Structure 1
Amino acid sequence: MEERADKNLGRYREWWRERRSWEISEEGRANICKVRALVEARDAGLSENGDDKKLLAAARVELDLADELLDFERHRRKPLGSHVTAAQIHLSAARLLWVKSFLSSPREIRPYLPSLLAIVKEHLPAGDERRKSVEKIRHGESLDDADVVMITEAVEAAQAVSLREKLRAGSFVRIVWVVAGFLFVLALSIGALSAAWPEAVPLCFNPPKSMEALAAEEAEMRGSTPPVMYEVVCPTGSDPSPDSPDLDVNFARTAEGRDYFVVEVAGLVAAGLASASALRKIRGTATPYGVPVALAALKLPAGALTAVGGLLLMRGGFVPGLSALDSSAQIIAWAIIFGYSQELFTKFVDRRGQAVLEEVRGPGDLPPGARRRGDSPGGSSPGSQAPAIT
């Protein structure tokens, strides 16, 4: 029994480590194997121990470092995307060292030009001079060491742009999670403070009484004390016959500590529905960074806070004609509406998140008819990407 529990715990730990990037890690291992095969094939064709051999030896070191980063048994960092990006940095360095090994024999690099050009086109715009130089080299007849240098610079620039795109995506996700966490803490703090002091800022309204209710109260009191002309309605309770002439006193008597929590839960549920409906716009992501999940998490506390804020604005008469709700059900209904309305604020963050994902993707990931910013209609296409050394 204990062995089975340890086995299940080990499986859970393995799933927890690899839950967000297992497939991408396996793709990275496959790319490492492909580049390693190219390095070994290149090394086998060299007879002398010159600079090319040293470059290939350095490429092997980079490949070993990349392989180590993708092995969860050899490092204990949480796989939150950073380990994949770090492995890709070493893989890119190994690819550059492999390309530089052709300085002594430039003609041998010609079969790999389509794949190298695909890497350059994926991240550099059509107007970039380094990309233009590689395109000219591909259509040229002869190659020399200067051409190899230009190819290396172009590939290195493309890989630098790719790295910045991934780092930008990771930074964006971290910022969104921090803001979402701050809003969650803020919502919980507001609920806790309102539970401790429910009379401080009550979410209550004072709709006017009906003529029948006023007549009945006047008949009952027989003119001794003028009746209060309004009722008190709160999210979880109401007082149809308040007896104090002071509105704040009536609100303090009727308000309860759970009012804010009920309103926040209503806004949270509405924001959850908004997050679910927003799934129709998500195309998924091939990056190890959960941008859509972070954006969905941001909507939940935002919905709770907009529900509270919207009701406070109504209570202050900010919305003409909606300053006196008639029942607790109406208050909850408006809390749901305000909770769903957080889309008005978070849609700008959604657009920015989608833009970040589009910047990370390559041409093959773009929707039909779309082009990368700064690219030309005759630029790269999905079919131009050769998988030989990606």
Structure 2
Amino acid sequence: MSDSGSGEETDGKKTEVKERPWKEWWQRRRWAAAELGPWEQREAVLARISEIQAALDVAASRAAADSPQAHATAAYKAVAERELQQARDALAHSAHAAMRGAAHVGVAQSHLDTAQNLIVSLAPQDDVKAMLPQMVALVDEHFTPKDPRRLRIKEISERVNKGADLTPSDRGFLSETTGLARRMLRKETLRVRSFARVLAAVSATMLLIAVLVAFCAFRWPAMVPLCFAPEDGGMFSVVCPTDSVTRIGHPPNTREIGWAARAQDYLVVEIVGAVSAAVASAAALRRIRGTALPYNVPLLLAALKLPTGALTALLGLLLMRGGFVPGLSALDSSAQIIAWAIIFGYSQQLFTKFVDSQGQALLDAVRGPGSAPPPGEGAKP
């Protein structure tokens, strides 16, 4: 007879019941942590897979009625179904719990695009005719107006709308050209992902530098003090961001300036610069549009401004202390130092605005409704 307080049975089933909920909970948490991309993007691709699967089944059943093409139809259908299954596998958390970011969404979309191209090759002409407007629009988004591929797909569309039959050459061209347009869209999306990773790396590096500078200044406050020595009627003062020493009868030397410096001077200036940069970031949001991509570039652009503002506040005050700005080499009070730290922190916008422009240009390059016309295309049709 087993001990009732041990929580175990002779066959081990009781222990298994206790451990299984914890194991399942841990697996769900692990998979949820791996899903860092937008959940809506993943669900949208899964819904699209179901839609393409239904279209594939219908197209294959219609094409199977044509006995000369039965073998080719079966081959195309088998490959398309394999691509759809690979797309589902790419979105299954249990298949790759270590996947990070939104890369799995892009991989699934690539397999889905291949399945769509195969449907063009096996579907009956009526089905391809229904898909032609979408294919023409996709090609128009990614090819210039004088590109021969864009001109030919329009010619095929006009000919089919007038009642002409699709030739095998036409089907192959439609499949290859639309596939190329989708690959171009994927490349544009990958450029955005690469830009987002660079932004994240640069922001983390700037933050690390700001933290290291604050730590070094806290450890050695007299190393490079943020202090000024204004003169008033032959008397000198030592003014720092958080403290000041007044009424010195001679110009203060480096040691006396170091005595007035405090460990928190750099930290205070960095905090003020970061807060000022946050205000500038909020003001810049009026020019930044959101994105439907799974890479949050606007958020990363805003995050870059904070450590940049902290560092520009420090560098600006050091330039003033070195006499780089004529007439502003000696500030009179701690309040003036903080005020100039606010100005220099906000001035980071002069540098990061170019990064903002580049980020918005990359987002605009990913074609979609409301995006700018492709290169070489004007407003006129």
Fold match, TM over 0.5?
yes
More displaced, 278-287 or 314-323? 278-287
Amino acid of the structure 2 residue aligned with 1:185? L
Question: What is the Cα deviation at residue 148 of structure 1?
Answer: 1.2
- 2:206 is aligned, of 180, 183, 193, to 183
Q: Distance in 2 between matches of 1:253 and 1:344?
A: 35
Question: What is the Cα deviation at residue 300 of structure 1?
Answer: 0.6
Match status 1:36 vs 2:57? no
Amino acid of the structure 1 residue aligned with 2:266? Y
Question: What is the Cα deviation at residue 90 of structure 1?
Answer: 0.6
SS in 2 for 1:240: strand
Amino acid of the structure 1 residue aligned with 2:309? G
Q: TM-score, with normalisation over the residues of structure 1?
A: 0.84
Q: Distance in 1 between matches of 2:27 and 2:281?
A: 33
**1:335-374 to 2 correspondences below 5 Å:** 335-362=341-368, 364-366=369-371, 370-374=372-376
| Aligned residue number for residue 8 of structure 2 | none
Residues 11 and 284 of structure 1: CA distance in aligned 2, closer, same or farther (over 3 Å): farther
Question: What is the Cα deviation at residue 40 of structure 1?
Answer: 0.6
Residues 266 and 71 of structure 1: CA distance in aligned 2, closer, same or farther (over 3 Å): same
| Aligned residue number for residue 385 of structure 1 | none
1:325 and 1:331 in contact (8 A); partners too: yes
Match status 1:22 vs 2:39? yes
Deviations 1:184-208 (A, max 9, x none): 1111111111122211211000111
SS in 2 for 1:203: coil
Q: TM-score, with normalisation over the residues of structure 2?
A: 0.86
Q: Which runs of 5 or more structure 1 residues have no equivalent in the other structure?
A: 215-228, 380-390
Amino acid of the structure 2 residue aligned with 1:62? E
| Aligned residue number for residue 218 of structure 1 | none
Identity of counterpart residues, as a percentage?
A: 42
Amino acid of the structure 2 residue aligned with 1:179? V
Amino acid of the structure 1 residue aligned with 2:297? V
Deviations 1:129-152 (A, max 9, x none): 211111110001422111112212
Residues 342 and 3 of structure 1: CA distance in aligned 2, closer, same or farther (over 3 Å): farther
- 2:132 is aligned, of 103, 113, 116, to 113
| Aligned residue number for residue 293 of structure 2 | 287
Deviations 1:74-128 (A, max 9, x none): 43144522111111111111111222225xx656522221122122223222222
Match status 1:122 vs 2:141? yes
Amino acid of the structure 2 residue aligned with 1:26? E
Residues 273 and 9 of structure 1: CA distance in aligned 2, closer, same or farther (over 3 Å): farther
Q: Distance in 1 between matches of 2:104 and 2:24?
A: 26
**1:178-327 to 2 correspondences below 5 Å:** 178-209=201-232, 211=233, 229-242=235-248, 246-327=252-333
Q: Distance in 2 between matches of 1:378 and 1:233?
A: 63
Amino acid of the structure 2 residue aligned with 1:372? P
Q: Distance in 2 between matches of 1:287 and 1:324?
A: 49
Q: Distance in 2 between matches of 1:43 and 1:196?
A: 73
Q: Which runs of 5 or more structure 2 residues have no equivalent in the other structure?
A: 1-18
Question: What is the Cα deviation at residue 8 of structure 1?
Answer: 9.0
Q: Distance in 2 between matches of 1:280 and 1:201?
A: 38
Question: What is the Cα deviation at residue 271 of structure 1?
Answer: 0.8
Counting matched residue pairs gives 355
Residues 258 and 3 of structure 1: CA distance in aligned 2, closer, same or farther (over 3 Å): farther
Amino acid of the structure 2 residue aligned with 1:149? G
Deviations 1:30-72 (A, max 9, x none): 2111211111111112145412211111111111111222233
1:303 and 1:339 in contact (8 A); partners too: yes
SS in 2 for 1:287: coil
Amino acid of the structure 1 residue aligned with 2:347? S
Match status 1:167 vs 2:181? no
| Aligned residue number for residue 62 of structure 1 | 83
Match status 1:151 vs 2:208? no
Deviations 1:137-176 (A, max 9, x none): 0001422111112212210210111011011000000001
